[in-house]
Structure 1
């Protein structure tokens, strides 16, 4: 296999392995005029298969930069659409150190840069937040009175589970817990609590009155 087929195959492999954000180009400098031998993922630079070598590739050739050097890495490129690229070039040479061609890898880092900026902004914003006070009260968001009621039941009985029938003492404690949550400021909440407790609305109002009287 001659060098052109070998390096074209390598370009195809690298294009598949690295992904669509990497353009792989192989230039042939053995003829009278340099030409593009292979171009994988051309959408990165916006070039066509018959495009000429880049200005830097031609400069490397004319200035004989390849002599005594295997390549150049980490220089900046600009695509046809103006997007910034990270570029590297490997000099393909024969046993006598004469230039045969160049393997160029151009990386479009745009979406990675955008992701890095968003992560940086997130970390900066997180750094401005004061740590939560472990002694401060916890805010709960509930979708219904029933959800608040079940949370109060959990506080009262813990992991033992709610009994089938609640005693009057337990009902009084639940009313006190629910009053602390502000449940009874909601319209219709007393009737809903009565239903959930298995008591009458009048009993709930009586427990609530007793609770508030003892707090005063």
Structure 2
């Protein structure tokens, strides 16, 4: 990354502390340098929420946004659901940091931990139900929804999470997948930006029980060619 872009990102480091200081300990604030997706976190506050550290990777959603160039049409994303590796439900927002040419330099992410709020909500619902002499199981609003973002601690966790999610969409063991199904998985992973990560081809080949050359061949073909 050029010096100008590096200086631009440095200007946002105090903002990480500023936002976290205002919002308090239930708000994690993260600054990503998108020039290095495998080790993108350059600053983080209240990292007890996700367990991530400086030097950690970009999220699955972050990769997808880069791949789709979503930052060209909007400046930020607000209030989308996310989840940590240990199951905390979050409300997240991302601000795209761009240079004078409109090219993305970094992402400033704010993740609000809703675990306590949901616990209070369940308590109040159960309390009110008890008063009314009724009872029913309660669940969070995100229990049955597909979340757009999962906060992983390491590059390996990120790759495994993306591969497992994608293979689950087909729900067929790799040894029983047809070549067309394997190619679909590869193209789907490419859409999610997985192959921007170092070692992704080898990991995908291992999970699909095929060779790295086959993965490269799938990437260079259209699904209809099989």
Provide the TM-score with structure 1 as the length reference. 0.54
In structure 2, distance between residues paired with 1:87 and 1:33:
21
Structure possessing the higher radius of gyration over alpha carbons: 1
SS of residue matched to 1:58: helix
Q: Which has the higher contact order (CA 8 A, sep 6+)?
A: 2
The Cα of 1:66 is off from its aligned counterpart by 0.5
Give the direction of change, closer, same or farther, for the CA distance of 1:31–1:127 in structure 2 (3 Å limit): closer
In structure 2, distance between residues paired with 1:21 and 1:119:
20
Q: How does 1:127-138 map to 2 (within 5 A)?
A: 127=132
Specify the alignment match of 1:17 in structure 2.
Answer: 22
Aligned residues: CA RMSD:
2.3
Residues 10-69 of structure 1, C-alpha deviations (whole Å, 9 max, x = no match): 011111111111110011124686621111111111112221111111111121011110
In structure 2, distance between residues paired with 1:127 and 1:95:
60
Match of 1:81 among 63, 81, 86: 86
In structure 1, distance between residues paired with 2:26 and 2:38:
29
Q: How does 1:115-130 map to 2 (within 5 A)?
A: 115-127=120-132
The Cα of 1:80 is off from its aligned counterpart by 2.1
Specify the alignment match of 1:61 in structure 2.
Answer: 66
Long gaps (5+) in structure 1 = 130-216
Q: How does 1:161-180 map to 2 (within 5 A)?
A: none
Q: Does 1:44 align with 2:49?
A: yes
Q: Does 1:97 align with 2:99?
A: no
SS of residue matched to 1:97: coil
